[in-house]
Amino acid sequence: MAEVLDRNLAEVQEHDDKRDVFSQLTPVYDIQSAANPDRLKEPGYYGLPILKRPFWKWEIALYFFFEGVSAGSYILCTMAGLRDKTRFEDLIRGGRFLSFCTMVLCPPLLIIDLGRPERFHHMLRIWKKTSPMNHGAWALTGYGTVASFLALLGLKAEWMPGGALTTAMRLAQRWVPERVIGLLGLPFAWTMVSYPGVLLESTANPLWSRSHFLGPLFASSSMSSGAAALTLLNYGSKDHGLHKALTTFEDVATVAEAASVALYLGEAKKAAQPLWKGKQRVLFLVGAIGLGILAPAVLRRSKSKVVRDAVAPLLTLAGSLALKWSVTYAGQESALDPAMANFNGETIDGKAYWGPTAPATAAVPANEGATVAL
């Protein structure tokens, strides 16, 4: 099977026609050379994959990472403000700037992936309740607006150029209900941490679609990385209660992330092979699980402040990036495995709709009005 996969990778060619965007997104296969009797019994279509491989690369992997850090830290800062705004004032102000700085990187990354800036705008012309990608575009817009406004309110009035702007900033900081605005941004932030995994699950890619726990995995990783970023940001704080609270939350998020990884691998089974046998295995097993989950959980028990509040959160952030990077890139390898694409997910009655384990015939949905022989 490895030889077949390597041959598929070698046979895939990409058009580079700048005039046609679809030719840049769709792999072109040498069908004539592949469709011969010798390859009739090979998996897929004469040994070729029947799925289009995703073209998401570093832009989307970095987007998943930065939006997770941004939304995760925003949620924690907002909850801290509801608990005790006076005590956590420094945490809230620093966290809002952190949320803004990591959020502002996300639109350029998406635009680079889309190819043209107007494509992001086009996604906002409609509201499509069945599209996780459309939900993400609207969530990023709403969340970015709130996070930018709260970061602006966090600036000192004395920094404003001109007396009128200084006065306006002081009035805004006094009368604008920051807690209410922070609460308005929470639904957008929760969507930001959870929708990337759900978006991947909604595809036909075996690695992404064969489990319902990719959403919880990405969400828990984002919350863990947000807490780790806040720990680094408040390294010099003398508030031991703050450090203890952040450490406790990181422990809870780490447990949730570890459980999500186990549930995801357990449900995906063979579909997850690119993560623990493919090219991304080192990054996933060593980076995401070893250095991103296990090592920080141990290092947070250290008596050394440097190890506990600097090294551990840095490893958590690196592990979150490794997780989202490896899952994104392993999707390409998964789509190019013709044998894996032959196995469809189970229906509500527990039987495969099509593929080797499906019955001899299966009816297509009622609106298709036909029966397909398998």
pLDDT in tens, 103-129: 999 989 988 887 777 777 777 787 887
Q: In this model, does residue 296 exceed pLDDT 90?
A: yes
Q: Sorting pLDDT into bands at 50, 70 and 90, what band is 11?
A: very low
Q: What pLDDT score does 260 carry?
A: 95
Nearest to 193 by CA among 217, 229, 157: 217
Report the 10 Å Cβ neighbour count for 177: 9
* DSSP bridge partners of 13: 28
Running DSSP on this structure, what letter comes out for residue 54? P
Enclosing H/E stretch for 305: helix 305-306
All domains of the chain in start order, with CATH: 58-341 (1.20.1630.10), 350-374 (no CATH)
Percent of the chain scoring above 70 in pLDDT: 75
Lowest-pLDDT range of 24-38, 168-182, 213-227? 24-38
Q: Are strands 371-373 and 361-363 parallel, antiparallel or unpaired?
A: antiparallel
Check: pTM over 0.95? Answer yes or no: no
Q: What pLDDT score does 89 carry?
A: 85
Q: What pLDDT score does 60 carry?
A: 92
Rounded CA-CA distance 372/35 in Å is 22
Contact 67, 202 (CB under 8 A): no
Q: Sorting pLDDT into bands at 50, 70 and 90, what band is 218?
A: very high
Q: For the chain, what is the mean pLDDT?
A: 79
Report the 10 Å Cβ neighbour count for 348: 5
* Phi then psi dihedrals of residue 363, to 5 deg: -80, 140
Q: What pLDDT score does 354 carry?
A: 44
Q: In this model, does residue 313 exceed pLDDT 70?
A: yes
pLDDT higher for 354 or 329?
Answer: 329
Contact 247, 94 (CB under 8 A): no
* Phi then psi dihedrals of residue 73, to 5 deg: -70, -35
Q: In this model, does residue 342 exceed pLDDT 80?
A: no
Percent of the chain scoring above 90 in pLDDT: 39
pLDDT in tens, 242-275: 889 999 999 999 999 999 999 999 988 888 888 9
SS3 100: helix
Rounded CA-CA distance 118/107 in Å is 12
